[in-house]
């Protein structure tokens, strides 16, 4: 391995097999896993996030998992700070960080820096939430399309968190999120970055995996998990933790907005939309080496690719 230790990024859409691949890799190379997932940071969000179980974590410890209470908020800026600290700590031991996850914004924040965006404004957010409750998020998405068509074009009309943030930024600064993002601070990382991605080429395969995983989550007690979180009394459906894919849909089911059959359909649809956004991000990534998730030899191929980089046979 070269004296300049690299950082390895392992990306992919939900249900693509990233965790299994990461566990395989750390058993062959001097790696430590850092999670890149905006939902896995929360304690108590286990089933709906497909959080690695105790047996997996015993074999392959993950950093940046279970670091926050669901009532707290996390951001790309905080992730970048935390991830850089973990990378430095791992490098200090002579090992290589393996950053694994599907929150593409976090990967981008780490590798390319961040735009100089304003802090959240509780009053603006509360008003936007109230307007969304009356009109629906697609209506606010249409408003965003009028003031910031570039940002609106890459957001789903029901992506409440990001639609709200884009409108908030515009109201606070008078400038669009797309404009501010283009002026993001470029802070090159002081080490070699190796980008790998695992994903099925056939979208139908990914959809089937998503459906199967959501069925398994429901069977494993996903509804009970959200019910327990809801019963705490200090959480709401508008917190980032409860906006995680699947959690919002189960929360609304528990509120009586729709029945169990509709919950399944909505949960699967939301997860598919999330995977679609992840794949769009991946298509834009530069210097990314892609691996077919359904190839029986994918784990061997990943080992060989990483071994060449780390100079391991």
> What confidence category does residue 243 fall into, taking pLDDT thresholds of 50, 70 and 90?
very high
Q: Over the Cα atoms of the chain, what is R_g?
A: 20
Residue 1: pLDDT over 80? no
- Does this model's pTM top 0.85? My answer is no
Which of residues 182, 206, 231 is at a domain's end?
182
pLDDT of residue 110: 93
Q: What's the CATH code of the domain at 218?
A: 3.40.50.300
| Sign of torsion over alpha carbons 33, 37, 41, 47 | negative
Inside any domain, residue 159: yes
Inside any domain, residue 2: no
Inside any domain, residue 30: yes
pLDDT of residue 119: 82
Same domain, 13 and 53: yes
Q: Rounded to an integer, what distance in angstroms lies between the CA atom of residue 5 and that of residue 189?
A: 12
Report, as an integer, the average pLDDT of 109-138: 89
Same domain, 194 and 272: yes
Which of residues 134, 165, 182 is at a domain's end?
182
Inside any domain, residue 104: yes
Residue 2: pLDDT over 60? no
If DSSP states are collapsed to H, E and C, what string results for 38-81?
CCCCECCCCCCCCCCCHHHHHHCCEECCCCECCCCCCCHHHHHH
Q: Which residue has the higher pLDDT, 66 or 313?
A: 66
Residue 313: pLDDT over 50? no
Residue 302: pLDDT over 90? yes
pLDDT of residue 186: 62
- 31-36: strand order across its sheet: 62-63, 31-36, 96-101, 7-11, 193-199, 288-292
Residue 140: pLDDT over 70? yes
Contact 36, 109 (CB under 8 A): no
pLDDT of residue 190: 80
Same domain, 99 and 173: no
User: Which of 3-7, 69-73, 242-246, 267-271 has the weakest average pLDDT?
Assistant: 3-7
What three-state secondary structure class fits 199? strand
Inside any domain, residue 1: no
Same domain, 79 and 191: yes
Same domain, 142 and 259: no
Same domain, 99 and 207: yes
Same domain, 160 and 212: no
Side-chain half-sphere CA neighbours of 109 within 13 A = 21
Residue range(s) defining the domain that contains residue 152: 122-182
Same domain, 130 and 240: no
Which of residues 133, 162, 182 is at a domain's end?
182
Same domain, 69 and 201: yes
Cross-strand bridge partners of residue 11: 101, 197
Q: Rounded to an integer, what distance in angstroms lies between the CA atom of residue 3 and that of residue 115?
A: 32
> What confidence category does residue 156 fall into, taking pLDDT thresholds of 50, 70 and 90?
confident
Inside any domain, residue 176: yes
| Mean pLDDT for the chain overall | 93
CB-neighbour burial class of residue 267 (10 A; exposed 0-12, middle 13-18, buried 19+) = buried
Same domain, 169 and 267: no
Inside any domain, residue 90: yes
Residue 192: pLDDT over 50? yes
Inside any domain, residue 240: yes
Residue 74: pLDDT over 60? yes
pLDDT of residue 180: 85
Report, as an integer, the average pLDDT of 113-138: 89
Q: Which residue has the tokens 């390895």?
A: 8
Report, as an integer, the average pLDDT of 14-19: 95
Q: Which residue has the tokens 């939430």?
A: 129
> What confidence category does residue 160 fall into, taking pLDDT thresholds of 50, 70 and 90?
confident
Whole-number Cα distances in Å, 225 to 54, 219, 238: 17, 11, 17
Same domain, 251 and 172: no
Residue 40: pLDDT over 50? yes
Q: Which residue has the higher pLDDT, 230 or 184?
A: 230
Structurally, the chain folds into a number of domains equal to 2
CB-neighbour burial class of residue 168 (10 A; exposed 0-12, middle 13-18, buried 19+) = buried
Report, as an integer, the average pLDDT of 294-302: 96
Same domain, 104 and 223: yes
Contact 222, 248 (CB under 8 A): no
pLDDT of residue 161: 85
């Amino acid at each position: 391995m070269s004296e300049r230790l690299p950082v390895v990024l392992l990306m992919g859409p939900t249900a693509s097999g990233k965790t299994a691949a990461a566990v395989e890799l750390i058993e062959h190379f001097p790696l430590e896993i850092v999670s890149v997932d905006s939902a896995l940071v929360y304690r108590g969000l286990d089933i709906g996030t497909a959080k690695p179980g105790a047996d997996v974590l015993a074999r392959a410890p993950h950093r940046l998992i279970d670091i926050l209470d669901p009532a707290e908020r996390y951001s790309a800026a905080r992730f970048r700070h935390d991830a850089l600290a973990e990378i430095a700590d791992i490098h200090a031991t002579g090992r290589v960080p393996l950053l694994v996850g599907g929150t593409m914004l976090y990967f981008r924040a780490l590798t390319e820096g961040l735009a100089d965006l304003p802090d959240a404004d509780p009053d603006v957010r509360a008003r936007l939430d109230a307007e969304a409750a009356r009109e629906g998020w697609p209506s606010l998405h249409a408003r965003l399309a009028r003031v910031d068509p570039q940002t609106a074009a890459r957001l789903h009309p029901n992506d409440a968190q990001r639609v709200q943030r884009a409108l908030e930024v515009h109201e606070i600064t008078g400038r669009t999120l797309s404009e501010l993002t283009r002026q993001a601070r470029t802070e090159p990382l002081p080490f070699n970055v190796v980008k790998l991605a695992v994903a099925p080429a056939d979208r139908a395969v990914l959809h089937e995996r998503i459906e199967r995983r959501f069925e398994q989550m429901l069977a494993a007690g996903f509804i009970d998990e959200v019910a327990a979180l809801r019963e705490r009394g200090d959480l709401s459906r508008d917190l980032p933790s409860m906006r995680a894919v699947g959690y919002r849909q189960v929360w609304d089911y528990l509120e009586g907005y729709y029945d169990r059959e509709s919950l399944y359909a909505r949960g699967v649809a939301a997860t598919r939309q999330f995977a679609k956004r992840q794949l769009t991000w991946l298509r834009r990534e530069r210097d990314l080496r892609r691996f077919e998730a359904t190839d029986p030899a994918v784990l061997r191929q990943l080992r060989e690719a990483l071994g060449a980089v780390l100079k391991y046979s």
